[in-house]
Amino acid sequence: MKNVDIKTLTLCFALNCAVSNVCFADTISVEASSVNAPAKVQSLPTSVSKPNTVSCPAQFQQVKIASDARQCQSFDESMTAVMVYHSPAEPGALVNLYQTAHPALKAHSPVNGRTLLSSSDKAIRVIVSPDKTGSQVDILVTSKSK
């Protein structure tokens, strides 16, 4: 093939595919009533655990919650229970709060600003992370039978 023009080849290929219905999908008809209809939201599978946003309790699985806690979400599973919340307090103040309320929790060196406090058996873990407007606290309580 001498001096084959790529554009011509591409056009011929596209036309051939269109005629033979090989390359292109069928068009989808859209009714006028469905154009402005709200989109359907797909529900998550029931096997995925959704968080429960709850009013912040004073304690979660016997672990103290800061009195200024906001936006508490709990994930309570059979083997591990999780509580996540936001506090306007600085991370250092919350680390002190947990060390005072639970002296058995050992503070580990901060990594990327996040401080881990954990019990000796690792059944309780509290992670205090800096946030733009305070701190985020994640509490993980693992069942001792695990």
- CB within 8 Å of 74: residues ≥ 6 apart: 51, 52, 54, 60, 81, 82, 83, 84
Provide φ and ψ at 20, rounded to 5°: -90, 0
CA 48/CA 75 separation, integer angstroms: 11
* Residue recorded with tokens 């989808």: 28
* Residue recorded with tokens 């029931």: 46
pLDDT tens digit string along 42-98? Answer: 444 444 555 556 678 888 888 888 888 888 887 766 678 898 999 999 999 999 999
- pLDDT recorded at residue 7: 61
Residue 59's SS3 state is strand
CA 129/CA 65 separation, integer angstroms: 15
Q: Residue range 33-44: average pLDDT?
A: 47
* Residue recorded with tokens 């947990």: 98
> How far is C-alpha 115 from the geometric centre of its chain's CA atoms?
20
pTM (2 d.p.): 0.58
- pLDDT recorded at residue 85: 92
- CB within 8 Å of 108: residues ≥ 6 apart: 115, 116, 117, 118
Distances (CA, A) of 9 to 4, 12, 14, 18, 24: 8, 5, 9, 14, 18
Burial readout 85-119 (b: 16 or more C-beta within 10 A, e: otherwise): bbbebebeebbebbeeeeeebeeeeeeeeebbbbb
pLDDT tens digit string along 106-127? Answer: 999 999 999 999 999 999 999 9
